[in-house]
Amino acid sequence: MLKKLLVLLFTFPVLANAQTDTTANPPAEEDFSQYDSYNFVDQSIKKYCTSKVFDLSPSKLISIGYDFQGGYNLTTDTLFNPNSSEYTTQNTPGFGSIQYSHGLRLAVNIPVISNNAIIVQLGANYAEHRYKFNQLISSPSNDLITTLKDNGLRTTGLNTTIFKPFNERSFLLVQASADLSGDFGFNSINLKYLRSSVAAIWGQKKGDRKMIGFGLSRTYRVGEMNYIPVFLLNYTAPNRKNGCEILFPARVHYRRTFSARSLALFGYELEGQSYHLGSRNTSPALQDLELRRGELRIRAVYERSISSFLWLSAQAGFRYNYSFEADRLPEGKEFFRGFFGDQPYAMQNTLGNTFYFLLGVNLVSP
């Protein structure tokens, strides 16, 4: 008897509901106007603006990309040291013809805290740049050319992005990163050459189509450390076809939206890092040298969804060299030159300009 009762108790609700079709959308015959008069149960709720603007290019959780630059020339100078002339003889001026340079790029960004009141994202990145020189190298003994040819350059680092809304309009956006850049291998990493960047932007969200902000950044985007004011504007026009994504001066793009699953960007981005050289003890002349690599990428980008969460990204354009000089930083101690400092570079180099393309696959964020 008891067994029968127990079976009946636990199976009755299942049997009673077994015929319900729950897969389709319900017919829209309800009087929806009743929901106009609903209010929050808890009247003390504080509302916040979100970080989203209509039709922005999707933020990436995981990115895998391949970067390729066409041929160009590199001319390197002798080493200069105001305190000691001995270095000037350790590196002969050099010229190298680069057939192409290329490299893999990986990035991961995970939202570790994500709610209405704050979003905290942690990320890691890796990028390498390998140089393929033509057989004819005018100065095969040049130390910079030797390390670029043999070791290339790479960057690896950690970063965080914090979006903190204060109310339905105002927010603070903070981005910080710590990167290790150089000609190192994985067994010659030295954390004292870690370089940190940070940007803080105070902004306002003006509806679903516009976000604007101003701030200050400490950045290596032009190769060497600098302090630069920044301006943020993410905007989508009422027709939902045109817009812009601007974080000036780091990147400026006009956006053309074709659909919810494809878009194009036209504009530029500044890229740069300070690369510690001589990590593999290749040459005493390179010890304490940091290569200030900064470049302007004028480009067109096409992004489209290839499945629900996977997006393909293809960009092509012109890579303009902004900086390829080198500074001597004993023990990696950084200094500030800015736009107006007159400290001489330890090595002045000239890098030609060229076309480039970058292909990538991205897992995009909800």
Partner 1 sequence: MKNPIKLLIIITLLFASNATFAQQADDLVGVWEPSNGKVRVKIEKLGTKYFGRIVWLRAPIDSVTNKPKVDKNNPDVALRNVPIKGFRLLKDFSFKSVGEWTEGTIYDPENGSTYSCTIKMKDKNTLDIRGYIGISAFGRTDVWKRLEIKKQ
Residues near partner 1 (CB under 8 A) are 1-2, 5-6, 9, 13-14, 17-18, 20, 22-28, 30, 32, 34-42, 45, 47-48, 50, 52, 54, 58, 61-62, 110-111, 114-117, 119, 208, 238-240, 259-261, 308-309, 363, 365-366
Tell me the C-alpha distance between 149 and 280, whole Å.
Answer: 13
Rg over CA atoms, the chain: 27
Q: Taking the complex as a whole, how short is the minimal distance between the CB of residue 16 and partner 1, in angstroms?
A: 9
Q: Between 34 and 135, whose beta carbon lies closer to partner 1? A: 34
Least distance from partner 1 to the Cβ atom of residue 22, Å: 5
Smallest gap from Cβ 20 to partner 1, in A, equals: 4
Which of 50, 287 has the CB closer to partner 1?
A: 50
Residue among 247, 245, 227, 226 at smallest CA distance from 235: 245
We find the least distance from the C-beta atom of residue 9 to partner 1, in angstroms, to be 6
Q: How far is the CB of 366 from partner 1 (least distance, A)?
A: 5
Q: How far is the CB of 5 from partner 1 (least distance, A)?
A: 6
Nearer to partner 1, 17 or 281 (CB): 17
Collect all residues with Cβ–Cβ distance below 8 Å to 132 and sequence separation of at least 6.
Answer: 98, 99, 100, 101, 102
Tokens 């910079």 identify what position? 144
Neighbour count for residue 49 (Cβ, 10 Å): 21
What's the closest the beta carbon of residue 158 comes to partner 1, in angstroms?
Answer: 16
Q: Which is nearer to partner 1, 116 or 138 (CB)?
A: 116
Q: What's the min distance (Å) between Cβ of 236 and partner 1?
A: 11
Query: Rounded to an integer, what distance in angstroms lies between the CA atom of residue 72 and that of residue 353?
Result: 6
Measured CA distances, 36 to 25, 43, 256, 304 (Å): 21, 16, 35, 37
- Looking at the Cβ atoms of 309 and 320, the one nearer to partner 1 is 309
User: Which is nearer to partner 1, 238 or 330 (by Cβ)?
Assistant: 238
Count the Cβ atoms, other than its own, within 10 Å of residue 292. Answer: 23
Cβ closest to partner 1, residue 131 vs residue 163:
163
Q: Which of 274, 214, 282 is nearest to 246 (CA)?
A: 214
Burial of 87 (0-12, 13-18, 19+ CB in 10 A): buried
The CA-CA-CA angle for residues 64, 320, 269, to 5°, reads 50
Burial of 297 (0-12, 13-18, 19+ CB in 10 A): buried
Q: Is the dihedral of CA 318, 357, 63, 262 positive or negative?
A: positive
In the complex with partner 1, the residue whose CB is nearer, 9 or 136, is 9
